[in-house]
Structures are given as structure tokens and as C-alpha cells.
Structure 1
Amino acid sequence: EEHGILQQIIVCPIDKGYKIIAGERRWRAAKLLGLKEIPVNIKNVDSMKALELALVENIQREDLNPIEKAHAYLELKKNFGLTHEKIAIKIGQDRSSIANTIRLLDLAEDIQELVSRGTISMGHARAILSLKDPVKQKTLGYKIVTDGLSVREVEMIASGRKTFLFSSKKSSDTKVVSSELYKSPQICDLENKLREFIGARVTIKEKNGKGKITIVFSNNSQFENITEKLKTLMKTPT
């Protein structure tokens, strides 16, 4: 509040005023702080270019997990025709990092969820990727969590250098690596209570006493409603 908004938001002119294409979070923060003016950069761009700028902005500024980044990179590749090299330049990463992140989407969905929550590391995920069978991926992912396998151990198992008995059952019969399996009842209960109070999806990611709470909203109206409820919560005497 003392220094205001230090970085410009990017807008483009429309029929009635301007549309924010990058920096919506800064604009919302300014409203909450009661700021009357914020620095703005006006760009005359078409709708597709505006979407591209907004997506790049979100990747650079949002606290995205690896799977969310992978989806964002893939969207830039498919919808905007950007190569891995061009994405890397825009994001400020090396090309191999972009390619490796997108490859995470080849993992079984259960394993992607574990990566999203930080239950298994990127090193574990890259090692599992060498297994093409989703059932084997799930089985190995389950063992990482239950037995605390190191990245080195997973690499050896995936490459066949270490003996490991994979399930021969079909995917539907295999023990599923459910994201809820790794949450305590207290965390699940708190998620449900927050979800009911706020009226939006809430997820809590916790590991070794650290983590984050994520509230998902789909439009400005829902965001303002959530903000008002949180203000009410903060004013409630403990």
C-alpha cells in the first residue's frame, strides 16, 4: 500500500473503455487497497495476441505447480503455434525445461495429481516417465509414497537395473494412487468447511508443516463474493 502498484498492467482499447490483458491480480489488489490510480500500458493488439500475452503473464507471475505450467505451455504451443524455443524465450526458461515440463502430461492422471500436490518430486516424475504403461506408473508412484523411494531408486527400477514386481492386473483392479489417500482427515475436514463457507473450491497442500491454501474462482463476481466473506471471517472475534 505504501508504494502502490510498481509494475504496469497491460490493457487494450475496446468499444467502451479498456480490457485488462495482463495484470488483473494487480488491479484487484489495487481495488482492495483503495488505490485511485495505477500505472497502465496501453497496447493495440488483436484478441489472440491479447490471450497470448495474458497467458504468458500468468505463467510468469502465478504460483503454478508443474502440471499447471505444463498445461499452460501446451496451450501456447497448440493454440498460438509457438515452438518450445519461442516459449522458452517468452517465459525466460531454457528450451529443455519447457519440453520436460510438457512431458509431465504423459504421466497417468493419478501421478500428475501427486506431482501437482508436491507429494512426489519432479525428479521422481521424470524417472516414472520412462515407463509407458500407466498401470506401472501408478504402481511405482504408490511405492514412492508408501516406501519413501529415492529418485535414484526409482530410476533404477524404471530402467530395469533393480528388481521390482509390477502388478499384472488391469488398471481398474490396481490400487489407485488417490490424492485423498495422502491427506489427513483433519485437512480434508478443513477443506470441506472452507468450501462450504466460501462457496468455492478450496484445496490445501501440506507437507512437513508447510504448504498453501488455494481458492479457485471463475469470474469477478465470485472473486468479490469470496473477498467479502474473507473480510467477514477476519472481523469475527476469536
Structure 2
Amino acid sequence: MARDSRSNDTKKKGGLGRGIEALFEDEPQVEEAEEEIQDLALDDIRPNPYQPRKTFDDKALKELSDSIKENGVFQPIIVRKSVNGYEIIAGERRYRASRMAQKTTVPAIVRDFSESQMMEIAVLENLQREDLTPLEEAQAYEMLQKNLGLTQEEVSKRMGKSRPYIANYLRLLTLPSKTKHLLQHGELSMGQARTLLGLKNKDKIDDVAKQVVKEGMPVRKVEALVASLNSKKPQKKSTHKSAFIRASEHQLADKLGSSVNISENKTGSGRLSVSFSSVDELNRILDIMGVDLDE
């Protein structure tokens, strides 16, 4: 039978530094036993506006909902008071599953958190559970940077990650939209996406990403493909000139005694260019063409 909350709700994943507790170490500590658990109306509760997770597993949510129907919610969600009701700090999955189970209330603990604490908790909670896709994780770091005015170094310290780790995730946000879609839906891995960022011709990323997914390429093969594409010199567009244009170039070159190039586009217009290597040569060409600059 599915449980109403995952056993690792409070389990800390390695590499997250001091974790959520570090955000509140300067605040008076309240023993959990003294915290009041209230049954709050679901209609009065709204999701955390800074929740980085955009997708929830429907199957897992249905299993949790079925468990809540039979057993109720064992672990209360955590909320903060807002202008209109409450905002979720932690436990959106239980909130969503309770709604799915057609419950009207959910057990909750009300705590007083600032906006910045809400943002950081939302990110840390999901990172600890490994709930975020690579793209969602990147967007979460970007949100912390923009909304809290943090540098990459400051984000790395708060999240307990290295600065290169944060930088590598933020680079994913520069991927084109179609490749982002593949990454978000798990068709493209973090390693594959990072490798595609190495393509010199950024316009090719979407097409190469599609090829990578279609052929199921491992990262090493993607690296080889990117290296191969980067080493290819761009092919010059071949220009097919008509016999009339070529003949005109030859006759003008003979008459002017200099190199002549005529380019023609599809509309019939074009450009005539005459090469010269010095001012004297330019004056000579102008004389031949009957151009008198003194007039």
C-alpha cells in the first residue's frame, strides 16, 4: 500500500551543506512537540509561489491519494500565514493528493517564514528528495539569483553545492526551446544536454538533440559527434554564374586591366566590384571609365 508521505521526507541528501536547518539557526528554536497541528481548509491553502517543481508524477500522486482516502495524512504539511489564507512551505504533494482524495481539510503546522526563506526551502526540499528535473533545478538556481540578488558563489554556499555545479546547471537555460523540452521530459539527460552546449553552431543544437534522442546515443558518442561537427569547416556556397555574367566579367577585366567580380541575385539585381591595389591604379581605372573628379 502506498504511504501518505515518502519515508525520506526529512532525510538529507549528501552534498546539500548544512541543509534547511541552517536557514533558521539565528531564530529561537521551537520543539516540534510544542508546535500546534491544525486542520486547515484546503480551499484556504495555496501552493508555494516559488515551488520549482512544475510536474508531479500522476501515478505516484494517485497512489498517495488512495492511501490518504483510507488512512488520512500522517505527516502535517507546513504553511505560513498570508494575506489570503495560507501558503505551502513544504508538503505540496500531500496537499495535491488530499484534494484528489476529495478531502476538505489537511493537518498543518503554521510557521512564520520570510519570502527569502520560502524560496530557499522550496529549492532545498526538492533537492533533498531529488524531485527536480535538471531544467527545473537550473530554473530554481536562477530564481534564487534574481529574486534574492545572489551571485553564483552565494547560491552555491546556500545550497551546499560547488560553484561549477551551479554554473553547469545555469548553462542549461541557454539551450533552445525544443532541446529544453526534451530535457524537461527526460528524453535527454543532463550529460547529453551539457555536451550539446559545446556545439559551435548553436543553430544546430535542436537538430542534433533530436538525433541524439532518436539514436539513443550515450554521452561519449554525443561528445564524439559534437567534436566532429565542430571540426568541419563551413562549406562555401557555390555560385553558379550565367555565361553572360562570366563573359561580362572577362570583357570588363580586359578593358580595365583589373580584377572584376559581378554577383547576381534571384531578383535580377546584383553588384559589380572592381579591385585596385593603390590610389594610382584607382585613378587609372577612373580615367578608362571616363570619370573626371575635377569637373
TM-score interval, smaller chain? 0.5 to 0.7
Aligned length: 167
Quick one: structure 1 residues 56 and 134, their matched pair in 2 at CA, closer, same or farther if it must change by over 3 Å? Answer: same
- Is the contact between residue 77 and residue 90 of structure 2 (CA under 8 Å) also seen in structure 1? yes
SS in 1 for 2:107: coil
Map of 2:111 onto structure 1: 42
Quick one: structure 1 residues 70 and 49, their matched pair in 2 at CA, closer, same or farther if it must change by over 3 Å? Answer: same
Map of 1:82 onto structure 2: 150
By relative contact order (CA 8 Å, sep 6+), the higher-ranking structure is 2
Please report the TM-score for the alignment, with normalisation by the length of structure 1. 0.53
Quick one: structure 1 residues 163 and 157, their matched pair in 2 at CA, closer, same or farther if it must change by over 3 Å? Answer: farther
Please state if 1:143 is matched with 2:216: no
Aligned counterparts of 1:167 and 1:141: Cα–Cα separation in 2: 22
Q: Deviations over 1:183-230 (max 9, x none)?
A: xxxxxxxxxxxxxxxxxxxxxxxxxxxxxxxxxxxxxxxxxxxxxxxx
Map of 2:95 onto structure 1: 27
Please state if 1:67 is matched with 2:135: yes
Map of 1:97 onto structure 2: 165
- Is the contact between residue 107 and residue 129 of structure 1 (CA under 8 Å) also seen in structure 2? yes
Please state if 1:110 is matched with 2:178: yes
Aligned counterparts of 1:20 and 1:99: Cα–Cα separation in 2: 29
Per the TM alignment, residue 3 of structure 1 is displaced from its structure 2 partner at its CA by: 7.3
Question: 1 or 2, which has the higher helix percentage?
Answer: 1
Quick one: structure 1 residues 160 and 18, their matched pair in 2 at CA, closer, same or farther if it must change by over 3 Å? Answer: closer
- Is the contact between residue 11 and residue 20 of structure 1 (CA under 8 Å) also seen in structure 2? yes
Map of 1:200 onto structure 2: none
Please report the TM-score for the alignment, with normalisation by the length of structure 2. 0.45
Aligned counterparts of 2:236 and 2:218: Cα–Cα separation in 1: 24
Quick one: structure 1 residues 81 and 57, their matched pair in 2 at CA, closer, same or farther if it must change by over 3 Å? Answer: farther
Aligned counterparts of 1:164 and 1:147: Cα–Cα separation in 2: 22
Aligned counterparts of 1:167 and 1:77: Cα–Cα separation in 2: 42
- Is the contact between residue 9 and residue 24 of structure 1 (CA under 8 Å) also seen in structure 2? yes
- Is the contact between residue 73 and residue 94 of structure 2 (CA under 8 Å) also seen in structure 1? no
Aligned counterparts of 2:191 and 2:82: Cα–Cα separation in 1: 46
Aligned counterparts of 1:53 and 1:124: Cα–Cα separation in 2: 29
Q: Rg: which structure is higher?
A: 2
List runs of 5+ in structure 1 lacking aligned partners: 170-238
